[in-house]
């Protein structure tokens, strides 16, 4: 499998919507990862937060009701707190209401079979054959370096035609690693980013190196620069392990 194909087939479109009226209101991406013989969906928190339900695009046959979507529940997220020595229970309860920040990562275990398809696509210089979406494996993760290039895939610029939603596929490649800032790896796009709409819908997409290793999840850009932020997959694994060790999942 070519690296472009892997980047496309491993990235899953994410929607958020009111289950009573599941017309998507929010858009992002995510991926399926196999860890300790268990399957997990992972994305970035800002895509899935709020009162809306998170759905995955299935690409199953559409009907007069629209395109089938698969709901995802049981999503975990993490808040950061600064604890002081001798804090009492009331102070701790107050602290829980005002975390320093929420880490921009979320995941849920996939406990039942879910069918996610990749439609055929023609990018001109290469084609994608129709087939199932691809799972990634924690064994195939890596720290980024400046000797290779990186990329990710997503869909942007949503617009409705009646009940049908159309989005523009986009493949972001030839990214170079710049540096790491705490939980985030920073990559540089080949050109200055001029329009955030060219990236909105890609948040949560797996960033893969040219060998197909997962290094981060796309989460933020800075317009007017080349900078693209990705939440470190190594930090994600640490939080996933905490979730399993503490029974959150």
Q: How does pLDDT run across 151-189, given as a tens digit for each residue?
A: 999 999 998 887 778 899 999 999 999 999 888 999 999
Domain definitions of the chain by residue range: 3-75+106-242
Least confident of 18-22, 64-68, 71-75: 64-68
Higher pLDDT, 206 or 93: 206
Q: Which pair of tokens denotes residue 196? A: 């955030």
Whole-model pTM: value is: 0.89
What integer is the mean pLDDT of 117-139? Answer: 91
Of these ranges, 83-92, 175-184, 237-246, the one predicted with the greatest mean pLDDT is 175-184
Q: Does 18 score more than 90 pLDDT? A: no
Q: What is the mean pLDDT of the chain?
A: 87
Fold annotation for 3-75+106-242: Thrombin, subunit H (2.40.10)
Q: Does 11 score more than 80 pLDDT? A: yes
């Amino acid at each position: 499998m070519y690296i472009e194909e892997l980047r496309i087939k491993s990235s899953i479109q994410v929607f958020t919507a009111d289950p009573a009226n599941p017309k998507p209101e929010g858009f992002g991406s995510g991926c399926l990862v196999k860890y300790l013989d268990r399957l997990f969906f992972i994305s970035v928190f800002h895509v899935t937060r709020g009162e809306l339900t998170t759905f995955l695009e299935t690409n199953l046959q559409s009907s007069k009701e629209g395109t089938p979507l698969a709901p995802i529940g049981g999503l975990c997220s993490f808040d950061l707190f600064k604890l002081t020595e001798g804090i009492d229970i009331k102070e701790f309860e107050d602290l829980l209401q005002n975390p320093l920040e929420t880490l921009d990562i979320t995941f849920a275990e996939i406990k039942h079979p879910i069918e996610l398809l990749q439609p055929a696509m023609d990018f001109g210089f290469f084609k994608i054959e129709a087939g199932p979406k691809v799972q990634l494996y924690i064994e195939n993760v890596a720290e980024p370096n400046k000797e290779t290039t990186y990329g990710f895939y997503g869909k942007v610029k949503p617009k409705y035609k009646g009940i049908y939603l159309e989005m523009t596929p986009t493949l972001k490649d030839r990214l170079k690693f710049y540096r790491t800032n705490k939980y985030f790896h920073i990559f540089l796009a080949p050109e200055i980013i001029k329009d955030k709409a060219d990236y909105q819908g890609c948040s949560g997409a797996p960033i893969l190196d040219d060998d197909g290793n997962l290094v981060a999840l796309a989460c933020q850009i800075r317009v007017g620069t080349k900078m693209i932020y990705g939440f470190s997959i190594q930090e994600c694994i640490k939080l996933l392990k905490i979730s399993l060790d503490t029974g959150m999942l």
